[in-house]
């Protein structure tokens, strides 16, 4: 039977190698205001960054619903995109809180008017489609033609940053659509094993297009962990990767970064904890600090009254 030291060593090695601990994201600055404008007859969002006393920063817990809310932007008024950017920051241009700006490889060029609303809707359609294709592939169900069309549209003009898996995804979509003549009247096509290749291609393209990569983050108050770079684009990529791998039933522990199985996705700002002793201690400490702060605020208000 392995000794405690051997088990601890294996646990550390597994934590470094496994992707379960790599779902956290780096921090980035949020705009103080987002304005809707018109650019060559198209609606766009322009971010404004003032100089408030305390800058608005987006980080792990606050961005947990970024993927889900982006997938809701396939349609609706432009104000919904504006509200999304105000809450999570711009998707196609960002600067991390460390001051390092990642070089995007996307074929989008920000204009003076900002980012086009159509870009957000295009990405929302792509993410919605790949999530549904993954669910169909997992259950070996028929695929929706609309999803294949959305993936082909989202990836076809992006092959400049595509790796081999992305090219296979485009080819698989075109082959399946050719069977029905590309007719949108046909709602679904029979299941095909290449559906998994389509999912691989989309996820890998997303990570490659945003130049997303893992970085080590080792703070005094927490174990050494891994963090994704890429700002909001990186956060969505990490969430998409986890969503595909586990069917959307996981979240990362705020103590150690490991995946925790959950029946529901946590709400924005809601902390998640695993059963490890160190994480339980940290959770209790944070709860005690919040309780003391509430009592102190209540006492101050009582004295003021």
| Domain identity same for 284 and 254 | no
| Domain identity same for 194 and 298 | no
| Domain identity same for 255 and 177 | yes
- Residue 232: the pLDDT is 87
- Whether residue 14 is contained in a domain is answered as no
| Domain identity same for 186 and 283 | no
Q: What angle do CA 214, 8, 288 make, to 5 degrees?
A: 75
Low-confidence winner among 52-56, 265-269, 287-291 (lowest mean pLDDT) = 265-269
- Average pLDDT on 86-115 reads 66
- Whether residue 149 is contained in a domain is answered as yes
Average pLDDT, the chain: 76
Confidence class of residue 277 from pLDDT cuts 50, 70 and 90? confident
Q: What is the pLDDT of residues 6-23, one digit of tens each?
A: 434 434 333 333 333 335
- Whether residue 18 is contained in a domain is answered as no
| Domain identity same for 281 and 248 | no
| Domain identity same for 233 and 303 | no
Residue environment code for 55-72, b if the CB has 16+ CB neighbours within 10 A, otherwise e: ebebebbbbbbbbbbbbe
User: What is the rounded CA–CA span in Å between residue 74 and residue 123?
Assistant: 8
- Whether residue 267 is contained in a domain is answered as no
> How many domains is the chain built from?
2
Distances in Å between the alpha carbon of 243 and those of 14, 131, 256?
21, 8, 19
| Domain identity same for 114 and 136 | yes
| Domain identity same for 88 and 165 | yes
Q: What is the pLDDT of residues 9-62, one digit of tens each?
A: 434 333 333 333 335 666 788 888 999 988 888 899 998 887 766 677 777 667
- Average pLDDT on 86-100 reads 72
Q: What is the pLDDT of residues 131-168, one digit of tens each?
A: 999 988 888 888 999 999 999 988 876 545 668 898 89
| Domain identity same for 233 and 282 | no
Range among 127-131, 236-240, 255-259, 264-268 rated most confident: 127-131
User: What is the rounded CA–CA span in Å between residue 145 and residue 50?
Assistant: 45
- Whether residue 12 is contained in a domain is answered as no
Low-confidence winner among 63-72, 160-169, 213-222 (lowest mean pLDDT) = 213-222
Domain that holds residue 296: 275-305
| Domain identity same for 283 and 254 | no
Low-confidence winner among 75-79, 162-166, 254-258, 286-290 (lowest mean pLDDT) = 254-258
- Whether residue 269 is contained in a domain is answered as no
- 245 pLDDT more than 60: yes
| Domain identity same for 124 and 29 | yes
Residue environment code for 100-123, b if the CB has 16+ CB neighbours within 10 A, otherwise e: eebebebeeebeebbbbbebbbbb
| Domain identity same for 158 and 217 | yes
């Amino acid at each position: 039977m392995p000794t405690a030291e051997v088990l601890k060593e294996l646990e550390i090695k597994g934590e470094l190698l496994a992707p379960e601990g790599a779902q956290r994201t780096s921090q980035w600055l949020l705009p103080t205001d987002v304005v809707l404008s018109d650019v060559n007859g198209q609606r766009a969002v322009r971010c404004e960054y003032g100089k408030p006393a305390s800058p608005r920063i987006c980080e792990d817990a606050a961005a947990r619903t970024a993927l889900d809310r982006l997938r809701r932007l396939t349609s609706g008024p432009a104000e919904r995109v504006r509200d999304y950017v105000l809450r999570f920051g711009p998707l196609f241009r960002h600067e991390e809180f460390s001051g390092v700006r990642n070089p995007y490889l996307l074929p989008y060029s920000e204009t003076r008017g900002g980012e086009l609303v159509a870009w957000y809707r295009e990405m929302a359609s792509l993410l919605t489609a790949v999530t549904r294709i993954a669910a169909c592939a997992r259950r070996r169900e028929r695929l929706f033609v609309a999803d294949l069309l959305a993936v082909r549209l989202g990836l076809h003009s992006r092959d400049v940053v595509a790796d081999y898996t992305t090219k296979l995804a485009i080819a698989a979509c075109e082959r399946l659509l050719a069977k029905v003549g590309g007719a949108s009247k046909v709602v679904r096509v029979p299941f095909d094993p290449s559906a998994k290749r389509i999912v691989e291609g989309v996820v890998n393209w997303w990570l490659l297009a945003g130049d997303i990569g893992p970085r080590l983050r080792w703070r005094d108050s927490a174990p050494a962990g891994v963090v994704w770079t890429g700002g909001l684009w990186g956060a969505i990529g990490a969430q998409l990767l986890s969503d595909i791998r586990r069917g959307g039933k996981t979240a990362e522990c705020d103590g150690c970064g490991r995946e925790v199985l959950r029946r529901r996705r946590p709400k924005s700002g809601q902390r998640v904890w695993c059963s490890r002793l160190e994480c339980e201690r940290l959770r209790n400490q944070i709860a005690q600090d919040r309780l003391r702060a509430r009592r102190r605020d209540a006492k101050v208000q009582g004295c003021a009254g």
